[in-house]
Amino acid sequence: MSSSPPLQGPHLRERFAALDAFLLEHQDLWRPKPFTDLHLPWEARHPDLSAWLRSRTLEAAEAAHARPNDLDAPAPFSTLAERSRQLIALGHFDTKALPAVPARFSVDVPGRKWQQIEAFAGSLDFAAVPRHWLDWCAGKGHLGRRLAQDGSPLSCLERDAHLVEDGQALSDRLHLNARHIQQDVMAESVARHLDAQHTPVALHACGDLHVRLLALASAAGCRQLALAPCCYNRIADDRYRPLSRTARASPLTLDADDLRLSISETVTAGARVRRQRDRSMARRLGFDLLQRHLRQCDHYLPTPSLPPAWLDRPFAEHCQRLAGERLALPASIDWAHWEAAGWRRLADVRNLELLRGLFRRPLEIWLVLDRALYLEERGYRVRLGPFCDPCLTPRNLLLLAER
Ligand SMILES: C[S@@+](CC[C@H](N)C(=O)[O-])C[C@H]1O[C@@H](n2cnc3c(N)ncnc32)[C@H](O)[C@@H]1O
């Protein structure tokens, strides 16, 4: 871990420019998706890397997934990995010890979520003492409650009525000065809940939801806010609309598929979920190879997503369902062959994705820096760094903004 401070001041802009250049220069490596393209254009230019990745097992890919930068793969992998490593290095917030809270505060909070909350709250070191916390897309408001344990007022905005009701009950039980409000934060009416006295906090508010917070909080004159964004791909538009003037001036264009790369790290799944996910993907890929063969057409055919129960049915039935009305499947199909081909292809896909993995965190930091620069343009001093270890959540970037 680095002992340097979070990214701030001119370094935000400098890092953005460096990431922008890196992503633009290597678009041909990270845009094509191994899941949908049988052969990736870069493989002809880097045959050694391609052959090496394609020779590896699914288990080897899984082991390298969270840390692709450490992989000792043929050129140009190591050079790119080293550049990526430099670009994603971020200093840490000085974490402070929080006053302990009674165990009642963490009742009903899943263990990992509570650790995220403790780390998030421990990273907040605003110069001015917050007067009124505003938990944005609060769920049951666990984060807000942790912050308001000292008696400061708390408002929690959340769309889901059950979460609002449960959250209010939890806060009442602890005699906190908290109001849980049912509110769609995308609606016009949300503006009435935000004023200059509020310190908004948002832990894992998705795409448009946190972008809206940045716009409204800066317009309302909030002096400070803290945001850990997630799901950059959850946006209403087909294309990403950069927020800052700096990002708007970049030629880098991103669609929802590209944005998905920034959140493609999965560290939290248990063994059972992973097995299920692998089986589902192997079957989809097996079906994909089969449909290409039957249709004599080398294009990916999008398939409906099906409940996990389908994985317990025979592969043949599963394929019938994926094919639907679009494709007649002849009786003579060698199902064992296509199922095995799907598993082999899954190993290739996962290993080829390790190259894209080198651009995953750079893209995420590019997106968060767009938010940081947007806030800077609105007069905030902004700091960016991780608030917890990625094993607690891969979406571990925190923006602190003050003006
Ligand atoms: C990923 S959860 C995060 C919840 C909480 N901040 C946490 O970290 O546990 C996102 C929350 O946003 C809420 N949400 C989704 N769309 C919303 C909207 N339009 N307005 C308000 N809340 C919304 C969801 O119901 C959900 O509780």
Angle between helices 335-377 and 77-88 (to 10 degrees): 40
- Tell me the per-residue pLDDT of 119-168, one tens digit each, with 9 for 90 and over: 999 999 999 999 999 999 999 999 999 999 989 999 999 999 999 999 99
* Residue 184 beta carbon below 6 angstroms from any ligand 1 atom: yes
Q: Whose CA is nearest to atom 18 of ligand 1?
A: 184
Q: Which of 362, 403, 361, 358 is nearest to 380 (CA)?
A: 403
* Residue 204 beta carbon below 6 angstroms from any ligand 1 atom: yes
- Tell me the per-residue pLDDT of 10-27, one tens digit each, with 9 for 90 and over: 999 999 999 999 999 999
Q: Ligand 1 atom closest to Cα of 136?
A: 6
Residue 34 has pLDDT above 90, yes or no: yes
Q: Bridge partners of 383?
A: 8, 400
* Residue 138 beta carbon below 6 angstroms from any ligand 1 atom: yes
Q: How many CB atoms lie within 10 A of CB 73?
A: 21
Q: How far is the CA of 208 from the centre of ligand 1 (A)?
A: 11
* Residue 14 beta carbon below 6 angstroms from any ligand 1 atom: no
Please give the Cα distance from 222 to 202 (Å, whole number).
Answer: 14
The pLDDT of residue 267 is 63
Residue 177 has pLDDT above 50, yes or no: yes
The pLDDT of residue 1 is 46
Q: Whose CA is nearest to atom 1 of ligand 1?
A: 204
* Residue 139 beta carbon below 6 angstroms from any ligand 1 atom: yes
Strand, helix or coil for residue 393: coil
Q: How far is the CA of 89 from the centre of ligand 1 (A)?
A: 29
Residue type, 358: L
Q: Ligand 1 atom closest to Cα of 231?
A: 1
- Tell me the per-residue pLDDT of 262-276, one tens digit each, with 9 for 90 and over: 998 876 567 888 899
The pLDDT of residue 268 is 58
* Residue 392 beta carbon below 6 angstroms from any ligand 1 atom: no
Residue type, 133: W
Please give the Cα distance from 100 to 91 (Å, whole number).
Answer: 26
Q: Whose CA is nearest to atom 26 of ligand 1?
A: 139
Q: How far is the CA of 163 from the centre of ligand 1 (A)?
A: 9
Give me the chain's average pLDDT, please.
Answer: 95
The pLDDT of residue 110 is 87
Please give the Cα distance from 230 to 211 (Å, whole number).
Answer: 11
Upper half-sphere CA count for residue 331 (Cβ side, 13 Å): 0
The pLDDT of residue 2 is 47
- Tell me the per-residue pLDDT of 194-252, one tens digit each, with 9 for 90 and over: 999 999 999 999 999 999 999 999 999 999 999 999 999 999 999 999 999 999 999 99
Please give the Cα distance from 1 to 244 (Å, whole number).
Answer: 30
109, 156, 159: residue to mutate for ligand 1 pocket, most atoms within 8 A of CB: 159
The pLDDT of residue 111 is 84
Q: Ligand 1 atom closest to Cα of 230?
A: 1
Task: Supply the DSSP string of 163-180, one letter for each residue.
Answer: HHHHHHHHHHHTT--EEE
Please give the Cα distance from 403 to 225 (Å, whole number).
Answer: 10
Please give the Cα distance from 296 to 232 (Å, whole number).
Answer: 36
Q: Which of 402, 339, 343 is nearest to 376 (CA)?
A: 402
- Tell me the per-residue pLDDT of 71-119, one tens digit each, with 9 for 90 and over: 999 999 999 999 999 999 999 999 888 888 888 888 889 889 999 999 9
The pLDDT of residue 236 is 96
Please give the Cα distance from 311 to 371 (Å, whole number).
Answer: 41
Three-class SS of 204-236: EEEHHHHHHHHHHHHHHCCCEEEEEEECCCCCC
* Residue 121 beta carbon below 6 angstroms from any ligand 1 atom: no
The CA-based diameter of the chain, rounded to the nearest angstrom, is 73
Residue 297 has pLDDT above 90, yes or no: yes
CA 165 to chain centre: 28
Upper half-sphere CA count for residue 118 (Cβ side, 13 Å): 17
* Residue 141 beta carbon below 6 angstroms from any ligand 1 atom: no
